[in-house]
Amino acid sequence: MQDSSIDQVIRDFVSKGIAAHRIHSLDERYAINHLLGLLGIDAYDVQKIPSIPLPNLLDSLDRMISYAIGKRLIADVTEEIEILEAQVMELVTPLPSEVNKRFWMHYEEAPMRATDEFYRLSQDNDYIKTRKIAKNKHFSIDSKYGKLEITINLSKPEKTRQQMEAARETEGGNYPVCALCMENEGYRGRAGAAARSNHRIVRLPLFGENWGFQYSPYSYYNEHCIILSEEHVPMNVTEDTIANLLEIVTVFPHYFIGSNAGLPIVGGSILSHEHYQGGRHHFPMEAAKVLRNLALKDFPGVEAEKLYWPLSVIRLRSEDRDEVAAAAGAIMEEWQNYSDPQADILAESAGMRHNAVTLIARRAREAYELDVVLRNNRTTEAFPDGIFHPHPDVQHIKKENIGLIEVLGLAILPPRLETELSEVADYLLGKTAAVASCHREWAEELKQQGPFEEESVMEMIHEAVGEKFLRVIEDAGVYKQTPEGQAGFDRFLSTLENQK
């Protein structure tokens, strides 16, 4: 790129920002000078006029990054590129105080207006990595439980359990302490800490405590948001968690909000910072069939249902959110102390607690719905990764923690599968004998179903991947959908129900 052309790129970026109402016209010269400083440019052609038509902001951003790499202002590595990208896009991002002011001003008009505007800003300023997210592969399969959704995540590498544990051990001396801390807002970034110059958090009060509301930069579903504690405290699912979830869906009735279990293996990827996840998406579990209605002791005004789902789910519903909270608290307390050796369930062993719950709250018109999913993180010599964790024969597809999103019926599968599934397809078509060792046995099983056509082989593989994901979440269920499993579930439910 010639030096003179970077002047045009800068002019186009600023003009597009003004046209999109992301840069005020009075800030035009300031914005140009900010970009000149970032790119180490001392001279600028003030006569430059915008190109016609104006380019997309992100196109101009890409050209500035290419210029910076070409001039060796930054190295051609992801961390340095993302730091400069965030610093450029900070120009089209209001200060946190202004973002909060606008959010709550829009909220007075309608909660959905507030989240729509904040979500749009988070996309426009490239905090939400829309272009990377667009690379993800999506498909769905029909199962006996209903439709299951599958995503091969190509936008952000998934961490293994060992990597997550290593991060927890080393994060204490860093700033920000973790990826969810509020100190990330506006943070430049460095090796091991993401660039967040263009990151903004809406302050959300919950029962006298300060929380933050933000969107996930690598959204796994529509309007994937995170509600995080202002304090860096570990996940601890209590009655306060239930109250918080129900309060959040009161504030944002168009969103669901859920909490991972607070224990390793059955929890999410970040257990060191208390947070919830939500968004505007209808997950497969929401449409699960009802196996039977429950009559809970002490809570006659709460509708309670046992769901037909791979995991063990109790759904509560009432227009009285305090009654829903009290019923959920009673179930959680009962489960935390419940043992059923016949089903491999122990509440604790060697001083370690094993039982936990995953919670999901939503509104059903005027009513509050809360799903209580029973979890257990015991390990044994036979299942060192967890009795109720994906077993070894399905880990070639998914071996990471089964958290909130998978519980709801959406698989977030690792990026390695894009290449590996293509190899399996070539193997089934006889184009190659090379298949990743972890898939070899599975590929041999699939080959027995041949012959295969090039046009349909990947569709068949996707169906087989979906069947593996079904097994993954069935493995995570403490009580299986078998006569023995449901008899065990009913033993637990009998401790909650009115005895006839």
pLDDT in tens, 56-85: 899 999 999 999 999 999 999 999 999 999
pLDDT classification of 387: cutoffs 50, 70, 90: very high
Cα(473)–Cα(106) distance, rounded to whole angstroms? 40
> Would you say residue 149 has pLDDT above 70?
yes
| Phi, then psi, of 340 in degrees rounded to 5 | -145, 80
Average pLDDT over residues 48-59: 84
Which pLDDT does position 498 carry in this prediction?
Answer: 74
> Would you say residue 295 has pLDDT above 60?
yes
pLDDT in tens, 437-493: 999 999 999 999 989 999 999 999 999 999 999 999 999 999 999 999 999 999 999
Q: Strand pairing partners for 376? A: 355
Average pLDDT, the chain: 93
Cα(356)–Cα(378) distance, rounded to whole angstroms? 11
Which pLDDT does position 157 carry in this prediction?
Answer: 53
> Would you say residue 182 has pLDDT above 70?
yes
Q: Structural domain boundaries of the chain?
A: 3-92, 98-125, 155-385
Which pLDDT does position 170 carry in this prediction?
Answer: 46
Nearest Cα to Cα of residue 398 among 419, 380, 417: 417
Average pLDDT over residues 47-54: 80
pLDDT in tens, 114-132: 999 999 999 999 999 999 9
- Strand 410-413 relative to strand 146-152, pairing: parallel
Is the CB of residue 373 less than 8 Å from the CB of residue 407? Answer: yes
pLDDT classification of 86: cutoffs 50, 70, 90: very high
pLDDT in tens, 296-332: 999 999 999 999 999 999 999 999 999 999 999 999 9
SS (HEC) of 90-131: HHHCCCHHHHHHHHHHHHHHCHHHHHHHHHHHHHHCCCCCHH
Average pLDDT over residues 246-267: 96
Higher local confidence (pLDDT), 53 or 438: 438
pLDDT in tens, 388-431: 999 999 999 999 999 999 999 999 999 999 999 999 999 999 99
Which pLDDT does position 51 carry in this prediction?
Answer: 83
pLDDT classification of 354: cutoffs 50, 70, 90: very high
